[in-house]
Amino acid sequence: MTAGAGGSLAQSFGAAYPEAAYGLSTTAVIRNRSAQADNLRAQLERNQLEINAQNTRNQIGVQVRQARVNLVQGKAQVEAAHEAVRLARLSLDAERKKLEVGLSTTYNVVLRDRDLVSAQYAEVQAVTAYAKSLVAMDQATGTILDRHRIDLIDAIQGSVSQPPAARF
């Protein structure tokens, strides 16, 4: 037997050892499906985040518009309630004057007094609803801390460097 490279080749091609096998393997990447799937997933997630951001902007817009409508309605209700109290007071005064001259009864005076109390109660409710509308507007626009002169650092620390501003 010959030793060396020539002998090895002679053994290989002469099939001196038939249990040996030879092969050639090549790998060619035609498409990288994993990277394509990751890219597509990232695009879908980006699109979903953009949709969520747009939905949030839409919700904020709706909240601001609703708060503005509530403010306008609340102001009108407060003005109407003030006028109702003024008229109920005038009616009570007129009924008392009628009673003094004998043209009315104490029952009618009590009824007008009750009407005045009801009007005052409605006025308190209207003012309360208006105050809540103001707070909702500040929350919707994100100005509640600025409007009341509240410093965020003070709020986090739990200290007050200046008293909050009154709105009414």
Domain presence at residue 158: no
Domain presence at residue 147: no
Give the number of domains in the chain: 1
Helices 106-141 and 33-100 pack at an angle, to 10 degrees, of 160
- The string of pLDDT tens digits covering residues 14-57 is 666 666 566 677 766 677 888 889 999 999 999 999 999 999 99
Domain presence at residue 159: no
Structural domain of 124: 34-136
Q: What b/e readout covers 138-153, taking b as 16+ CB neighbours within 10 angstroms?
A: bebeeeeeeeeebeee
Domain presence at residue 61: yes
Domain presence at residue 14: no
Query: Which residue type is seen at 101?
Result: V
Domain presence at residue 166: no
Residue 165 pLDDT grade (very low, low, confident, very high; cuts 50, 70, 90) = low
> What does the pLDDT read at residue 29?
64
d(Cα 73, Cα 70) in Å, to the nearest integer?
A: 5
> What does the pLDDT read at residue 18?
61
> What does the pLDDT read at residue 148?
75
Domain presence at residue 24: no
Query: Which residue type is seen at 139?
Result: Q
* Token couple for 27: 């790998």
Residue 167 pLDDT grade (very low, low, confident, very high; cuts 50, 70, 90) = low
Indicate the length of the chain as a whole number.
168
pTM of the model: 0.65
> What does the pLDDT read at residue 87?
97
Domain presence at residue 150: no
- More confident: 159 or 134: 134
- The string of pLDDT tens digits covering residues 96-147 is 999 999 999 999 999 999 999 999 999 999 999 999 999 999 999 988 888 8
